[in-house]
Structure 1
Amino acid sequence: MPETRDDWEERLKEYLSANDLRLTRQRHLIAEAFFETDGHPNIDELYLRVRRRAPHIGQATVYRTLRLLVDSGLAASSRFGGAATRYEASDEDSHHDHMICTECGSITEFNNEAIERLQEEVARKHGFAMHSHKMELYGLCRKCSEREPGSPEPPKEAR
Protein backbone atom coordinates (compact mmCIF):
# COMPACT_ATOMS: atom_id res chain seq x y z
CA MET A 1 0.00 0.00 0.00
CA PRO A 2 1.31 3.50 -0.66
CA GLU A 3 2.97 4.80 2.49
CA THR A 4 1.17 8.13 2.76
CA ARG A 5 -1.56 10.14 1.12
CA ASP A 6 1.14 12.07 -0.75
CA ASP A 7 2.50 8.78 -2.14
CA TRP A 8 -0.74 7.59 -3.73
CA GLU A 9 -1.69 11.09 -4.86
CA GLU A 10 1.65 11.59 -6.59
CA ARG A 11 1.62 8.15 -8.22
CA LEU A 12 -1.97 8.62 -9.39
CA LYS A 13 -1.22 12.09 -10.79
CA GLU A 14 1.78 10.70 -12.70
CA TYR A 15 -0.28 7.86 -14.15
CA LEU A 16 -3.17 10.12 -15.14
CA SER A 17 -0.85 12.71 -16.68
CA ALA A 18 0.95 10.03 -18.71
CA ASN A 19 -2.45 9.00 -20.06
CA ASP A 20 -3.68 12.56 -20.75
CA LEU A 21 -6.15 12.45 -17.87
CA ARG A 22 -6.67 14.76 -14.90
CA LEU A 23 -7.06 14.11 -11.20
CA THR A 24 -10.59 15.50 -10.89
CA ARG A 25 -12.23 16.18 -7.53
CA GLN A 26 -14.40 13.10 -8.05
CA ARG A 27 -11.44 10.84 -8.80
CA HIS A 28 -9.57 12.24 -5.82
CA LEU A 29 -12.51 11.70 -3.46
CA ILE A 30 -13.02 8.12 -4.68
CA ALA A 31 -9.30 7.31 -4.39
CA GLU A 32 -9.21 8.84 -0.92
CA ALA A 33 -12.22 6.76 0.19
CA PHE A 34 -10.58 3.64 -1.26
CA PHE A 35 -7.23 4.15 0.50
CA GLU A 36 -8.99 4.89 3.80
CA THR A 37 -10.90 1.60 3.58
CA ASP A 38 -9.58 -1.38 5.49
CA GLY A 39 -9.98 -4.76 3.94
CA HIS A 40 -11.17 -5.72 0.48
CA PRO A 41 -14.22 -3.69 -0.57
CA ASN A 42 -16.27 -4.56 -3.62
CA ILE A 43 -17.62 -1.85 -5.93
CA ASP A 44 -20.95 -1.60 -4.07
CA GLU A 45 -19.27 -1.18 -0.68
CA LEU A 46 -16.93 1.52 -1.96
CA TYR A 47 -19.80 3.24 -3.77
CA LEU A 48 -21.82 3.43 -0.53
CA ARG A 49 -18.81 4.88 1.27
CA VAL A 50 -18.30 7.48 -1.48
CA ARG A 51 -22.03 8.35 -1.55
CA ARG A 52 -21.92 9.30 2.15
CA ARG A 53 -19.37 11.98 1.28
CA ALA A 54 -20.62 12.98 -2.17
CA PRO A 55 -24.15 11.82 -3.09
CA HIS A 56 -23.80 13.22 -6.62
CA ILE A 57 -21.09 10.72 -7.64
CA GLY A 58 -22.46 7.80 -9.64
CA GLN A 59 -21.52 4.15 -9.41
CA ALA A 60 -20.09 4.17 -12.95
CA THR A 61 -17.66 6.92 -11.91
CA VAL A 62 -16.57 4.86 -8.90
CA TYR A 63 -16.07 1.82 -11.13
CA ARG A 64 -14.06 3.76 -13.74
CA THR A 65 -11.88 5.28 -11.03
CA LEU A 66 -11.23 1.86 -9.50
CA ARG A 67 -10.18 0.63 -12.96
CA LEU A 68 -7.73 3.55 -13.15
CA LEU A 69 -6.33 2.63 -9.72
CA VAL A 70 -5.87 -0.98 -10.85
CA ASP A 71 -4.36 0.04 -14.20
CA SER A 72 -1.96 2.40 -12.43
CA GLY A 73 -0.77 -0.39 -10.12
CA LEU A 74 -2.10 1.35 -7.00
CA ALA A 75 -4.85 -1.24 -6.48
CA ALA A 76 -5.32 -4.94 -7.15
CA SER A 77 -8.54 -6.78 -7.92
CA SER A 78 -9.45 -10.33 -6.94
CA ARG A 79 -12.46 -12.58 -7.30
CA PHE A 80 -12.55 -14.88 -4.31
CA GLY A 81 -14.52 -18.02 -5.06
CA GLY A 82 -16.43 -16.46 -7.94
CA ALA A 83 -17.99 -13.76 -5.74
CA ALA A 84 -18.02 -10.06 -6.61
CA THR A 85 -14.65 -8.58 -7.50
CA ARG A 86 -12.91 -7.14 -4.46
CA TYR A 87 -10.18 -4.52 -4.40
CA GLU A 88 -7.22 -3.80 -2.17
CA ALA A 89 -4.36 -1.34 -2.16
CA SER A 90 -1.31 -2.77 -3.90
CA ASP A 91 1.81 -3.21 -1.86
CA GLU A 92 4.80 -3.81 -4.11
CA ASP A 93 7.05 -4.42 -1.11
CA SER A 94 4.93 -6.99 0.70
CA HIS A 95 3.34 -10.13 -0.75
CA HIS A 96 0.47 -11.76 1.10
CA ASP A 97 -2.07 -14.52 0.57
CA HIS A 98 -5.69 -14.84 1.66
CA MET A 99 -7.91 -17.06 3.78
CA ILE A 100 -11.59 -16.67 2.83
CA CYS A 101 -14.38 -17.81 5.16
CA THR A 102 -17.07 -19.62 3.17
CA GLU A 103 -19.61 -18.92 5.91
CA CYS A 104 -19.36 -15.20 6.72
CA GLY A 105 -17.18 -14.01 3.81
CA SER A 106 -14.40 -12.55 5.96
CA ILE A 107 -10.99 -12.30 4.30
CA THR A 108 -7.80 -12.68 6.34
CA GLU A 109 -4.44 -11.77 4.87
CA PHE A 110 -1.39 -13.80 5.83
CA ASN A 111 2.23 -14.29 4.89
CA ASN A 112 4.29 -17.38 5.63
CA GLU A 113 7.91 -17.41 4.52
CA ALA A 114 8.13 -21.22 4.69
CA ILE A 115 5.23 -21.52 2.22
CA GLU A 116 6.81 -18.90 -0.03
CA ARG A 117 10.12 -20.80 -0.10
CA LEU A 118 8.33 -24.09 -0.77
CA GLN A 119 6.44 -22.62 -3.73
CA GLU A 120 9.69 -21.29 -5.19
CA GLU A 121 11.33 -24.69 -4.69
CA VAL A 122 8.45 -26.51 -6.41
CA ALA A 123 8.58 -24.10 -9.35
CA ARG A 124 12.37 -24.52 -9.63
CA LYS A 125 12.11 -28.34 -9.53
CA HIS A 126 9.75 -28.22 -12.48
CA GLY A 127 11.90 -25.76 -14.43
CA PHE A 128 9.19 -23.13 -14.06
CA ALA A 129 10.22 -19.47 -13.99
CA MET A 130 7.63 -18.09 -11.59
CA HIS A 131 6.89 -14.36 -11.90
CA SER A 132 4.10 -14.19 -9.36
CA HIS A 133 1.48 -16.28 -7.63
CA LYS A 134 -1.50 -16.02 -5.36
CA MET A 135 -2.79 -18.43 -2.78
CA GLU A 136 -6.38 -18.50 -1.56
CA LEU A 137 -7.44 -20.82 1.24
CA TYR A 138 -11.19 -21.45 1.66
CA GLY A 139 -12.80 -22.70 4.86
CA LEU A 140 -14.25 -21.45 8.13
CA CYS A 141 -12.77 -18.59 10.13
CA ARG A 142 -12.26 -19.05 13.86
CA LYS A 143 -15.51 -17.27 14.74
CA CYS A 144 -17.61 -19.41 12.38
CA SER A 145 -15.89 -22.68 13.27
CA GLU A 146 -16.50 -22.04 16.99
CA ARG A 147 -20.19 -21.20 16.50
CA GLU A 148 -22.64 -23.64 18.04
CA PRO A 149 -24.37 -25.94 15.52
CA GLY A 150 -27.88 -24.69 14.80
CA SER A 151 -27.16 -21.13 15.96
CA PRO A 152 -28.24 -18.34 13.61
CA GLU A 153 -25.99 -17.76 10.64
CA PRO A 154 -23.77 -14.69 11.02
CA PRO A 155 -24.29 -11.85 8.57
CA LYS A 156 -22.09 -11.91 5.48
CA GLU A 157 -19.07 -9.73 6.09
CA ALA A 158 -16.89 -8.10 3.46
CA ARG A 159 -13.28 -7.69 4.48
Structure 2
Amino acid sequence: MAEKSIVDKAKKIFENFLLRQGSRKTPERFSVIDELYALPQDEHIDVEGLFLRMRNKGYSISRATIYNTLDLLVECGLAVKHQFKDKVALYEQALTYKHHDHHVCNQCRKIREFSDERINLIKEAMGEEFSSAITSHSLVLYGDCQIPDCKNLKLV
Protein backbone atom coordinates (compact mmCIF):
# COMPACT_ATOMS: atom_id res chain seq x y z
CA MET A 1 0.00 0.00 0.00
CA ALA A 2 1.36 3.41 -0.94
CA GLU A 3 1.79 5.95 1.79
CA LYS A 4 -0.57 8.93 1.92
CA SER A 5 2.01 11.40 0.61
CA ILE A 6 2.51 9.25 -2.51
CA VAL A 7 -1.24 9.15 -3.14
CA ASP A 8 -1.49 12.92 -2.57
CA LYS A 9 1.37 13.51 -5.00
CA ALA A 10 -0.28 11.23 -7.58
CA LYS A 11 -3.55 13.14 -7.22
CA LYS A 12 -1.79 16.48 -7.67
CA ILE A 13 -0.02 15.24 -10.82
CA PHE A 14 -3.32 13.91 -12.15
CA GLU A 15 -5.15 17.13 -11.33
CA ASN A 16 -2.55 19.18 -13.23
CA PHE A 17 -2.70 16.73 -16.13
CA LEU A 18 -6.50 17.00 -16.32
CA LEU A 19 -6.31 20.81 -16.23
CA ARG A 20 -3.80 20.85 -19.11
CA GLN A 21 -6.03 18.46 -21.08
CA GLY A 22 -9.16 20.46 -20.34
CA SER A 23 -10.71 17.35 -18.78
CA ARG A 24 -13.09 17.18 -15.85
CA LYS A 25 -11.84 16.46 -12.33
CA THR A 26 -14.41 13.97 -11.07
CA PRO A 27 -14.41 12.17 -7.72
CA GLU A 28 -14.69 8.84 -9.57
CA ARG A 29 -11.42 9.44 -11.41
CA PHE A 30 -9.60 10.25 -8.20
CA SER A 31 -11.09 7.19 -6.48
CA VAL A 32 -9.37 5.02 -9.11
CA ILE A 33 -6.04 6.50 -7.95
CA ASP A 34 -6.95 5.73 -4.34
CA GLU A 35 -7.65 2.09 -5.14
CA LEU A 36 -4.75 1.54 -7.56
CA TYR A 37 -2.30 3.00 -5.06
CA ALA A 38 -3.86 1.04 -2.17
CA LEU A 39 -2.59 -2.17 -3.80
CA PRO A 40 0.81 -3.59 -2.85
CA GLN A 41 3.43 -1.97 -5.08
CA ASP A 42 4.19 -5.20 -6.96
CA GLU A 43 0.56 -6.13 -7.60
CA HIS A 44 -1.00 -6.03 -11.07
CA ILE A 45 -4.76 -5.66 -11.53
CA ASP A 46 -7.16 -5.75 -14.45
CA VAL A 47 -10.17 -3.51 -14.96
CA GLU A 48 -12.61 -6.17 -13.77
CA GLY A 49 -10.63 -6.76 -10.58
CA LEU A 50 -10.47 -3.03 -9.88
CA PHE A 51 -14.18 -2.67 -10.65
CA LEU A 52 -15.13 -5.46 -8.22
CA ARG A 53 -12.78 -4.13 -5.55
CA MET A 54 -14.32 -0.66 -5.82
CA ARG A 55 -17.91 -1.93 -5.93
CA ASN A 56 -17.27 -4.04 -2.81
CA LYS A 57 -16.09 -0.88 -1.05
CA GLY A 58 -19.28 0.94 -1.97
CA TYR A 59 -18.02 3.08 -4.86
CA SER A 60 -20.56 3.88 -7.55
CA ILE A 61 -18.41 3.67 -10.67
CA SER A 62 -18.73 2.12 -14.11
CA ARG A 63 -16.26 -0.11 -15.91
CA ALA A 64 -16.07 2.52 -18.66
CA THR A 65 -14.96 5.15 -16.14
CA ILE A 66 -12.29 2.79 -14.83
CA TYR A 67 -11.06 2.00 -18.37
CA ASN A 68 -10.95 5.67 -19.32
CA THR A 69 -9.31 6.74 -16.07
CA LEU A 70 -6.63 4.05 -16.33
CA ASP A 71 -5.86 5.20 -19.89
CA LEU A 72 -5.43 8.75 -18.56
CA LEU A 73 -3.25 7.50 -15.68
CA VAL A 74 -1.02 5.66 -18.15
CA GLU A 75 -0.83 8.75 -20.36
CA CYS A 76 0.28 10.98 -17.50
CA GLY A 77 2.75 8.43 -16.08
CA LEU A 78 0.85 7.37 -12.95
CA ALA A 79 0.11 3.81 -14.12
CA VAL A 80 1.88 1.23 -16.23
CA LYS A 81 -0.11 -1.03 -18.54
CA HIS A 82 1.06 -4.56 -19.32
CA GLN A 83 -0.29 -7.03 -21.85
CA PHE A 84 0.90 -10.53 -20.96
CA LYS A 85 0.37 -13.30 -23.51
CA ASP A 86 -3.31 -14.27 -23.48
CA LYS A 87 -4.23 -12.15 -20.49
CA VAL A 88 -6.29 -8.99 -20.42
CA ALA A 89 -4.44 -5.74 -19.80
CA LEU A 90 -3.04 -5.44 -16.30
CA TYR A 91 -2.09 -2.21 -14.55
CA GLU A 92 0.28 -1.27 -11.76
CA GLN A 93 1.10 1.98 -10.02
CA ALA A 94 3.94 3.96 -11.56
CA LEU A 95 4.74 6.95 -9.37
CA THR A 96 7.44 5.09 -7.45
CA TYR A 97 8.02 2.67 -10.34
CA LYS A 98 11.45 1.16 -10.65
CA HIS A 99 11.98 -0.66 -13.91
CA HIS A 100 11.60 -4.40 -13.61
CA ASP A 101 10.82 -7.35 -15.82
CA HIS A 102 8.30 -10.13 -15.37
CA HIS A 103 7.99 -13.90 -15.16
CA VAL A 104 4.52 -15.26 -15.88
CA CYS A 105 3.64 -18.85 -15.05
CA ASN A 106 1.83 -20.64 -17.89
CA GLN A 107 0.08 -22.90 -15.37
CA CYS A 108 -0.98 -20.76 -12.43
CA ARG A 109 -0.70 -17.34 -14.15
CA LYS A 110 1.20 -15.89 -11.20
CA ILE A 111 3.25 -12.83 -12.16
CA ARG A 112 6.59 -12.34 -10.49
CA GLU A 113 8.72 -9.23 -10.85
CA PHE A 114 12.50 -9.31 -11.09
CA SER A 115 15.45 -7.08 -11.89
CA ASP A 116 18.79 -8.28 -13.18
CA GLU A 117 21.70 -5.98 -14.03
CA ARG A 118 22.76 -8.34 -16.84
CA ILE A 119 19.70 -7.24 -18.82
CA ASN A 120 21.00 -3.65 -18.78
CA LEU A 121 24.33 -4.92 -20.15
CA ILE A 122 22.48 -6.60 -23.00
CA LYS A 123 20.45 -3.44 -23.59
CA GLU A 124 23.64 -1.36 -23.82
CA ALA A 125 25.29 -3.89 -26.16
CA MET A 126 22.26 -3.93 -28.47
CA GLY A 127 22.16 -0.15 -28.45
CA GLU A 128 25.77 -0.08 -29.63
CA GLU A 129 25.16 -2.78 -32.23
CA PHE A 130 22.13 -0.99 -33.67
CA SER A 131 23.56 2.53 -33.20
CA SER A 132 20.54 3.35 -31.07
CA ALA A 133 20.03 5.05 -27.74
CA ILE A 134 17.81 2.40 -26.15
CA THR A 135 15.40 4.26 -23.87
CA SER A 136 13.27 1.40 -22.58
CA HIS A 137 12.65 -2.30 -22.85
CA SER A 138 10.13 -4.92 -21.89
CA LEU A 139 11.01 -8.50 -21.01
CA VAL A 140 8.49 -11.15 -20.06
CA LEU A 141 9.58 -14.71 -19.39
CA TYR A 142 6.95 -17.48 -19.53
CA GLY A 143 7.37 -20.83 -17.80
CA ASP A 144 5.47 -23.76 -16.35
CA CYS A 145 4.69 -23.85 -12.64
CA GLN A 146 6.96 -26.09 -10.61
CA ILE A 147 5.57 -25.00 -7.24
CA PRO A 148 4.17 -28.00 -5.32
CA ASP A 149 0.55 -27.46 -4.25
CA CYS A 150 0.47 -24.04 -5.93
CA LYS A 151 -2.62 -22.18 -4.67
CA ASN A 152 -2.90 -20.34 -7.99
CA LEU A 153 -2.86 -23.46 -10.17
CA LYS A 154 -5.89 -23.58 -12.45
CA LEU A 155 -6.71 -27.16 -13.38
CA VAL A 156 -8.10 -27.62 -16.86
Task: Output the TM-score relative to the length of structure 1.
Answer: 0.83
- With over 3 angstroms needed to count, the CA separation of the structure-2 counterparts of 1:85 and 1:51, relative to structure 1, is same
* Contact persistence 2:46–2:91 (CA under 8 A): yes
* Contact persistence 2:6–2:95 (CA under 8 A): no
Could you tell me which runs of 5 or more consecutive residues in structure 2 were left unpaired when the two chains were aligned.
none
Matches within 5 A, 1:91-130: 91=95, 94-130=98-134
* Contact persistence 1:13–1:22 (CA under 8 A): no
Q: How many corresponding residue pairs?
A: 151
Question: d(CA) in 2 for partners of 1:96 and 1:15?
Answer: 26
Could you tell me which runs of 5 or more consecutive residues in structure 1 were left unpaired when the two chains were aligned.
none
Moved more, 78-87 or 19-28: 19-28
Runs ≥4 in structure 1, deviation > 4 angstroms?
none
Equivalent position amino acid for 1:20 in 2? G
CA RMSD in angstroms comes to 2.5
Q: Which residue number corresponds to residue 148 of structure 2?
A: 147
1:29-59 alpha-carbon deviations (Å, 9 max, x no partner): 1111111123110111111111112352111
Moved more, 113-122 or 81-90: 113-122
The alignment-based identity, stated in percent, is: 29
Question: d(CA) in 2 for partners of 1:7 and 1:111?
Answer: 26
* Contact persistence 1:75–1:87 (CA under 8 A): yes
Question: d(CA) in 1 for partners of 2:71 and 2:83?
Answer: 15
- With over 3 angstroms needed to count, the CA separation of the structure-2 counterparts of 1:100 and 1:13, relative to structure 1, is same
